[in-house]
């Protein structure tokens, strides 16, 4: 089932960094319920602008964005749109409002006018879902970056969204924080069937998804399953993106006449494929 | 180093004083302040002292912390005391030298003024020691709600205070980082005359302000993404309840008030 439909959307900032250039130019895409869509692309390719169009933070100059069949330009229903499509930002510090973790998680529900008892129940559930219950009464500035991002995820989860948008949620974290956040997201996706739209510049994060979209200069230039997209090594390199190391190795082996099948994405898959080849010969 | 500065002086705890409804505490504080100004003689101060000592004992706040609140303004207390002694004109002249005349009433008045200041400081710090800044903001928002009628932006003020409380530690941490980064590049914040030091602050303040504005921008976006649209139709997770402890507190303050009024009349 389709939850978000973007049709031929254009967006232009009022004071663009590069004049006469739109940030998003004619993008069309859909997000299906329960899928994990990763968006990759160069800095300035319009990824952040695109996701801000998905929850009505920005409104398209032309074209339309439908969330569960609600047009994001429908002023009456903008709060429904934002409840359905939650958003996690890059900087964990700049998205927490309250001085206590549980109050921050409650913030969205308070804005929606949910009754107090119900808020308490849902805040507790959300904190449990991200494994942060023992920090309910802590001050945000005492938490690590990864923990802050998990609290931010709880704040979105508590609103019972259909989709979580994440704009480079791990870009400011250390490796352990990054793993912590990605594992949380993966668990929510697998166990609760949460729909995820993830912008990332870590290719191994994009690999976890069901589908990858590559953006360049405000347009979507590639789209498909991770294995399919990452097998087009030359094209990705032209756009200026990194390719996962094993995918690149497979590409180079093929260039030397070794017929590696598919696009192995981690060491295990590569080992398996090489063993298979060895047995064949 | 800057990280050690904690905001306010809240001392988390679970005492009866801590558990009181912050709205009630705030209102009782107003009554207490009125009492401090109503007191007429030493007996009255003795009553207030007993009240403060009792509350402090119940709250398990060490007297050391209570008195610490007086320290930063000790200078003002002493100045008030000295000025009042020298400039109060009474009837019973005790001592005269050059233009300085000290009257008996002057000494009495000076002592009272100093006591008044000390009692105000100790009393209010007893409130801030036992109530988190967040709870105080919350209580203020709820108590001032009627002012909405005259279009005073109560909710907005409270939200601003909350955000300030939330970001002060973050900005202090950032200041610390910038100071270290600039020091590593040879900046000198600690020597030179006033002008030189003010100049040294520029490379500290500029990045700090730039970052604060960026944060404000991103936070506004994040708040909107979480459906924030002002105070209308907003509910709160934490409900405040007036309980037995609060009634006990009100009773104690009522008795204290009665005693102070009695002292004033006698
Ligand atoms: N607030 C803004 N004002 C003007 N131009 C902007 C603003 N934010 C982004 N841009 C421009 O829009 C384009 C797309 O930016 P963005 O969506 O942030 O890309 P990405 O997230 O892929 O790095 C870039 O050319 C950028 O310079
Ligand atoms: Mg971006």
- Beta-carbon neighbours within 5 Å of ion ligand 2: A 48
CB within 8 Å: B235 and A141: no
Q: Residue A17: is its pLDDT beyond 50?
A: yes
Q: Give the pLDDT score at B12.
A: 79
Q: Give the pLDDT score at B8.
A: 59
Alpha-carbon gap, residue B166 to B107, rounded angstroms:
46
Which residues of chain B make contact with A91, given a CB cutoff of 8 A? 215, 218
Alpha-carbon gap, residue B75 to A64, rounded angstroms:
66
Give the residue among A69, A68, A65, A3 at the shortest CA–CA distance from A34.
A3
**Using one digit for the tens of pLDDT, what is the confidence trace for A149-174?**
999 999 999 999 999 999 999 999 99
Q: Give the pLDDT score at A166.
A: 97
Q: Residue A198: is its pLDDT beyond 90?
A: yes
Q: Give the pLDDT score at B65.
A: 82
Q: What is the dihedral of CA B38, B44, B50, B53, to 10 degrees?
A: 50
CB within 8 Å: B226 and A155: yes
Low-confidence ranges of chain B (pLDDT < 70): 1-8
Helix axis angle, A267-280 to A245-255, nearest 10° = 30
**Chain B nearest-CA residue for A152:** B222
The Cα-based distances of A183 to A110, A117, A146, A187, A245 in angstroms read 28, 30, 11, 6, 21
CB within 8 Å: B226 and A82: yes
Q: Give the pLDDT score at A132.
A: 96
> In ligand 1, which atom is closest to the CA atom of A45?
22
For domain A2-243, give the CATH number: 3.40.50.300
- Cα of first residue to Cα of last residue in chain B, in angstroms, is 53
Q: Give the pLDDT score at B13.
A: 84
Q: Give the pLDDT score at A227.
A: 83
What is the distance in angstroms between the Cα of A36 and the nearest Cα belonging to chain B?
A: 20
Give the residue among B95, B48, B82 at the shortest CA–CA distance from B261.
B48
Complex ipTM above 0.85? yes
Q: Give the pLDDT score at B5.
A: 41
- Out of B218, B227, B237, the one facing A94 most closely (by C-beta) is B218
The Cα-based distances of B76 to A151, B82, B104 in angstroms read 45, 10, 22
Q: Give the pLDDT score at B266.
A: 80
Alpha-carbon gap, residue B88 to B103, rounded angstroms:
7
Band of the pLDDT at A200, cuts 50, 70, 90?
very high
* Cβ proximity of B182 and B203 under 8 Å: yes
Average pLDDT rounded to a whole number, residues A87-105: 94
The Cα-based distances of B66 to B60, B70, B105 in angstroms read 11, 8, 30
Average pLDDT rounded to a whole number, residues A248-254: 84
Average pLDDT rounded to a whole number, residues A9-23: 85
CB within 8 Å: A159 and B227: yes
Q: Give the pLDDT score at A249.
A: 86
Alpha-carbon gap, residue A207 to A264, rounded angstroms:
11
Q: What is the dihedral of CA A224, A230, A232, A235, to 10 degrees?
A: 100
Q: Give the pLDDT score at A173.
A: 94
Which 82-101 residues of chain A touch chain B by CB within 8 A? 82-83, 86-87, 89, 91, 93-100
Q: Give the pLDDT score at B2.
A: 43
Taking only Cα atoms into account, the Rg of chain A, rounded to an integer number of angstroms, comes to: 20
Among left, alpha and beta (phi > 0; psi -120 to 50; other), residue A230 is alpha
B92 phi/psi in degrees, rounded to 5:
-90, 100
- Disruptive mutation site among A101, A141, A159, A161 for chain B (greatest number of B CBs within 10 Å): A141
Q: Which listed ligand is nearest to B221 at the C-alpha?
A: 1
């Amino acid at each position: 089932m389709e939850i978000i439909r973007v049709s031929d959307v254009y967006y232009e900032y009022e004071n663009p960094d590069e004049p006469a250039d739109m940030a998003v130019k004619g993008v069309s895409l859909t997000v299906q319920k329960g899928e994990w869509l990763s968006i990759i692309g160069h800095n300035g390719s319009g990824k952040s602008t695109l996701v801000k169009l998905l929850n009505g933070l920005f409104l398209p100059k032309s074209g339309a964005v439908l969330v569960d069949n609600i047009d994001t330009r429908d002023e009456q229903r903008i709060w429904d749109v934002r409840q359905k499509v939650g958003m996690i930002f890059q900087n964990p510090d700049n998205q927490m409002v309250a001085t206590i973790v549980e109050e921050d998680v409650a913030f969205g529900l308070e804005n929606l006018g949910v009754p107090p008892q119900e808020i308490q129940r849902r805040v507790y559930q959300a904190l449990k879902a991200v494994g942060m219950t023992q920090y309910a009464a802590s001050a945000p500035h005492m938490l690590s970056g990864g923990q802050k991002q998990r609290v931010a995820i709880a704040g979105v989860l508590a609103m019972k969204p259909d989709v979580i948008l994440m704009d480079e949620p791990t870009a400011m974290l250390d490796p352990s924080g990054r793993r912590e956040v990605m594992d949380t997201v993966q668990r929510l996706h697998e166990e609760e069937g949460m729909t995820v739209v993830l912008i990332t510049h870590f290719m191994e994060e994009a690999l976890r998804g069901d589908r990858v979209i590559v953006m360049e200069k405000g347009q979507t230039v590639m789209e498909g399953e991770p294995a399919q997209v990452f097998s087009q090594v030359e094209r990705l390199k032209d756009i200026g993106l990194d390719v996962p190391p094993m995918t690149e190795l497979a590409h180079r082996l093929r260039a030397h006449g070794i017929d590696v099948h598919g696009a192995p994405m981690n060491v295990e898959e590569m080992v398996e494929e090489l063993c298979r080849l060895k047995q064949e010969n | 180093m800057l990280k050690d500065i904690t905001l306010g002086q809240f001392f988390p705890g679970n005492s009866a004083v801590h558990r009181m409804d912050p709205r009630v505490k705030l209102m009782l504080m107003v009554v207490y302040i009125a009492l401090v100004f109503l007191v007429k003689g030493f007996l009255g101060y003795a009553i207030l002292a007993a009240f403060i000592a009792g509350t402090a004992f119940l709250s398990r706040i060490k007297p050391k912390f209570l008195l610490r609140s007086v320290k930063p303004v000790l200078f003002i207390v002493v100045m008030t005391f000295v000025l009042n002694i020298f400039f109060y004109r009474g009837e019973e002249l005790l001592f005269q030298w050059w233009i300085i005349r000290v009257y008996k009433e002057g000494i009495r008045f000076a002592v009272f003024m100093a006591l008044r200041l000390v009692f105000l400081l100790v009393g209010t710090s007893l409130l801030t020691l036992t109530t988190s800044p967040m709870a105080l903001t919350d209580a203020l928002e709820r108590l001032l709600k009627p002012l909405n009628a005259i279009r005073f932006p109560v909710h907005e003020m409270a939200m601003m205070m909350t955000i300030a409380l939330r970001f002060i530690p973050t900005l202090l941490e950032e200041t610390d980082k910038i100071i270290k980064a600039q020091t590593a590049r040879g900046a000198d914040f600690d020597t030179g005359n006033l002008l030189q030091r003010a100049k040294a602050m520029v490379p500290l303040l500029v990045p700090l302000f730039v970052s604060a504005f960026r944060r404000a921008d991103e936070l506004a976006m994040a708040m909107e993404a979480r459906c924030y649209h002002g105070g209308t139709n907003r509910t709160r997770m934490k409900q405040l309840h007036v309980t037995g402890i609060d009634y006990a507190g009100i009773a104690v303050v009522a008795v204290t008030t009665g005693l102070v009024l009695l002292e004033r009349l006698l």
